[in-house]
Structure 1
Amino acid sequence: MNANTLEIRTVQATAFKILVEALKELLTDTCIDFDETGMKIVSMDNSHIVLVHLKLDAPKFEYFHCESKITIGVNMLNLYKLIRTINSNDTLTLFIESDDLNHLGIKIENGEKNTKTTYKLNLLDLDNPKISVNPADFNYEIMLQSADFQKICRDMSNIAEVVEIKNVGNQLILSCKGDFCSQETVLADTENNSGSKNNNEIVQGIFNLKYLVLFTKCTNLCSTVELFLKNDYPLLIRYMVASLGEVKLCLAPQSQNHV
């Protein structure tokens, strides 16, 4: 009989650290849901411009025990402070003891060094508004090298505040205009699954580069990133969290006046 209400363990501790490092830039205090299927976050940032949808699957963990659905409130920055020392050979265990529901236990173990560190993070009493995520039929699903996408976003953020992302056929065009110069980057022959009957339909949107740069903190989670595009609709970006699951980041578009 497990004395813990919740106990999950993974050897993919580095991926979990990278994930939390990225999410702490978008979410301050957030609710994390656990049930027998896995771990989930569905939350908006304080400005309501970004929606984070995270799902880590229970079978992908080395051990996953969750007696019943439980929701915890966590400060993401404080969580990151405790796991930032994780190295590639560490194993991470998260647990909540049945007789101590106000703390999240965090255990970091290293078999090679024969070390074990345990933290108890104070949990928060947060409102947990239900956010419904309706599936959308996107015109284009585009796969890019995640490092390439990160470089483009970083470079453009030094020039302008917003970027226009446009897809025509098999070409993805990113363009921005600042006070001292403009930039256009064309990625031809992008891998995409067109949901549109007209493959030459122009799909475009204008998005805040500051948030895109924050999204690309997920770059080291996986080698590729998927962009989902639809006119007059948020941009959806999906990263795989190693082999644990996926995180989808949605960014609301800005008006033409911002270009």
Structure 2
Amino acid sequence: MFEAKLIRSSLLKKVLEAVKEVVAEGNWDCSSTGISLQGMDSSHVSLVSLEMNADGFDPFRCDRNLTLGINMSKLTKIVRCSNNDDSVTIRASDSSDHVTLLFESPNQDRVSEYEMKLMDIDSESVAIPQDEHDVYVTMPSSELQRICRDLSNFGDSMNIACTKDGISFSASGDLGSGRVTLRPTSNVDKEEDQVSLEFTEPCSLTFALRYLNFFTKATPLSSTVKLLLKTDNPLVVEYAIEDFGRIRFYLAPKVEDSDDSVNQNNTDEM
């Protein structure tokens, strides 16, 4: 038997909005420690890794390891039937072919119950490198979302360049070019407004903006976002899920052609 309850369904809505553009269908792996999901997009360019620890749910019960094959869009439609302040309980028996979602209003005068059929999804876990990175950036998540949105007007790709003095984001195309540079800050009133930079080696990598804009759909989950960069390695974009979990997105850098210009059509696979 598996049962997990979140006090606010709005949190589950935000999680689903964050992952469904990258992973259309995925296996939610449930164990005594919590819920996890790992999946790649259809082009094998990006990967999402979701972790929600058991202590973020009340109650949380998982008698044995269980895998729930979920269609993200369908689950999103069901969760949207709840009010943001409703609690949501997810239930599944060990041998069931469906999952049950129970929504309860704060004063329990309204209870809604829905069942969704599970899928048999054949997926393999991807070994995620745990290498040290050259650059660690923490910045406001809303700032990253704005930068990706604004630079999408100039091109399909965005270059991220880091030095000890700061991090710059740039794009160019038929319209022209744009660049945004952020320097480390420490004298702002709110910690979530700070830009911090841990720097070992300079790096300059280019990524597809289409995927970066998908990743920034996780902005409502956290006021800050972490960027982890290393030359010739995937970019890591990490959002906290309150104090009990996280979503990490991985994106392979663009391939450069023989003329040292960015090839707009091809990317490395993860």
Class of the TM-score when normalised by the shorter of the 2 chains: over 0.9
Identity across aligned pairs (percent)? 30
Is the contact between residue 166 and residue 197 of structure 2 (CA under 8 Å) also seen in structure 1?
Answer: no
The aligned counterpart of 2:46 is: 50
- Describe the SS at the equivalent of 2:96: strand
Residue 186 (structure 2) pairs with residue 181 (structure 1): no
* Residues 104-253 of structure 1: pairs in structure 2 closer than 5 A: 104-112=99-107, 114-189=109-184, 190-194=195-199, 196=200, 201-253=201-253
- Rounded Cα–Cα distance in structure 1 between residues aligned with 2:129 and 2:105: 41
Deviation readout 1:133-158 (Å, 9 max, x if unpaired): 23121011100100111011001112
Contact residue 226 and residue 238 of structure 1 kept, 8 A: yes
Counterpart in the other structure of 1:16: 12
Match for 1:87: what amino acid? N
SS at match of 1:133: coil
SS at match of 1:214: helix
* Counterpart amino acid of residue 115 in structure 1: R
Q: Read off the aligned partner of 1:117 and give its amino acid letter.
A: S
* AA of the residue aligned to 1:65: R
Partner Cα separation in structure 2 for residue 62 and residue 152 of structure 1: 37
Q: Distance in 2 between matches of 1:119 and 1:57?
A: 24
User: Which 5+ residue runs of structure 1 have no aligned equivalent?
Assistant: none
Which of 24, 29, 32 in structure 2 is aligned with 1:33?
Answer: 29
Q: How many residues align?
A: 249
Contact 1:175 1:182 in 2 (8 A): yes
Give, in angstroms, the shift of residue 113 of structure 1. 6.2
Q: TM-score, normalised by structure 1?
A: 0.92
Moved over 2 A (4+): 85-88, 256-259
Please report how far the alpha carbon of residue 178 of structure 1 lies from its aligned counterpart in structure 2 after TM superposition.
1.1
Q: Are 1:79 and 2:75 counterparts?
A: yes
Gaps of 5+ in 2: 185-194, 257-261, 265-270
Structure 1 residues 156, 47: CA separation in 2 closer, same or farther (over 3 Å shift)?
same
Equivalent AA in structure 1 for residue 196 of structure 2: E
Cα distance in 1 for partners of 2:244, 2:112 equals 23
How many Å apart are 1:88 and its aligned residue?
3.1
- Counterpart code for 2:149: R
Output one character per residue of 1:153-181: Cα deviation in whole Å (capped at 9) or x when no partner. 00111221000001101401001001011
Amino acid at match of 2:252: A
